[in-house]
Amino acid sequence: MEIIKGGITAPKGFKAYGEHIGIKKSRKDLAVIYSEKEATYVGTFTTNIVKAACVSWNMERYKNVDKISGVVVNSGNANACTGKVGEDNNQTMAAIAAECFDIDQDNVLVASTGVIGKQLPMNAIIEGIKKVAPLATNTIEGGYEAATAIMTTDTFVKEIAVEFTIGNKKARIGGMAKGSGMIHPNMATMLSFITTDVAITKELLDKAVKEDVASTYNMISVDGDTSTNDMVMLLANGMCDNILIEAEGKDYEIFKEALNIVNVFLSKQIIHDGEGVTKVIEVIVEGAKDLVDARLLAKSVITSNLVKTAFFGEDANWGRVLCAMGYSGAIFDPTKVTLYYESTRGKIKLLENGLPENFSEEFAYEVLKEKEITVHIILQEGNFNATAWGCDLSYEYVRINGEYRT
């Protein structure tokens, strides 16, 4: 298992590119992905009832179309709350991309991110797809340009590739993601695109993605708002020539491990690039009675505004952590909770078996000065653990999201 250079074009047979086509003022805003061999496709989608046109389109493919060859993504406009016109525009995007790639529009996925409630500038988009699609290339640069073009106010490109061996074949998973940012302040859309040349059945691919998303993307939070456009999509084209993975076992486990590396990396990158972030917080819950509770507790702590502002203030205000655990919905005995904060400067115990420690405020302040902080929560309820990633809540978050859209 080795991290290699590149992103979504690292797996065999995947081409990509990204360019500026005129949705945004000057930054790149359109990306394409193409798989030489039809790829098995699975995805997870926002749970928001208000779904962008692209989310509905891709959910439909997920249900009724097994194989996908092309993906077209625009940033700068979410094509959400745009009604029937928005649906038609989404379909046109797929149709134009299909024409360029010489495939059927049913084998094309679409993703949009940006401002809500505005119709897409279709002339620019149609011309743009025609310009960008022929440039798709399987080089590292192709993947990088695509990862650049899906960004909104992201401040850095998020991509990763992993190489590993399945049977005696070298296989790869590549991924790119965009995080919480926007041109016109809007909502923290999270998009993640994963490619692999592993041959695996749709059923197992689906299982692997669902399980892994639950412990990666679903365990991060910038501001607790679930976007209308959130999506994770995975394309597996089988071009590494491994024996098709059609049952759980060693090959499946290797694949899942590689997938987890990619998804944890991208999830954490999204947090590192969260709006107004000055600190990245990792919350590790150990000893919960079941996995649901472990995740509830970790997510509740990472989502609390009061916990987030305390970290922004470098304040070891552990009472807020316990409070957020208390209203999480998880069952635990507060008198059995032990709590530590840790950074590269050291580890400090704040609470043992529910009772406050007499800790040094000076040392706590030292520990909290770092950019990356881990909160260790140890229960004594059972054997289940979970980790969540989040960030502090800063003046800058308020500034970014309070600024006028236009």
Report, as residue numbers or ranges, the catalytic residues: 189
Q: How far is the CB of 336 from a second copy (least distance, A)?
A: 12
- Under the binding rule (CB under 8 A), the answer on residue 356 touching a second copy is yes
Q: How far is the CB of 17 from a second copy (least distance, A)?
A: 29
Q: Where are the alpha helices (DSSP H) in 201-358?
A: 202-215, 250-272, 291-303, 305-312, 319-326
- The Cβ of residue 168 has, within 10 Å, a number of other Cβ atoms equal to 8
Q: How far is the CB of 147 from a second copy (least distance, A)?
A: 25
- Round to whole Å and give the CA distance between 346 and 342: 6
Block residue for tokens 């193409």: 34
Which of 325, 377, 379, 391 contacts a second copy by CB under 8 A?
325
- Under the binding rule (CB under 8 A), the answer on residue 118 touching a second copy is yes
Which of 134, 167, 224, 249 contacts a second copy by CB under 8 A?
224
- Cα-to-chain-centroid distance, residue 365: 31
Contact string (CB under 8 A) for a second copy, positions 359-378, x = contact: --x---x-------------
- Round to whole Å and give the CA distance between 223 and 185: 13
What contacts 182, CB < 8 A, 6 or more positions away?
Answer: 114, 115, 152, 153, 188, 189
Contact string (CB under 8 A) for a second copy, positions 22-61, x = contact: ------------------------xxxxxx----------
Three-state DSSP class for residue 98: helix
Which of 326, 352, 363, 380 contacts a second copy by CB under 8 A?
326
| Residue from 348, 336, 396 nearest 373 by CA | 348
- Round to whole Å and give the CA distance between 208 and 173: 13
Contact string (CB under 8 A) for a second copy, positions 77-106, x = contact: -x-xxxx-----------------------
Q: Which residues are near a second copy by CB under 8 A? A: 46-51, 78, 80-83, 115-118, 185-188, 223-228, 304-306, 309-310, 312-315, 317-320, 322-327, 330-332, 334-335, 351, 354-356, 361, 365, 393-395, 397-399, 401-406
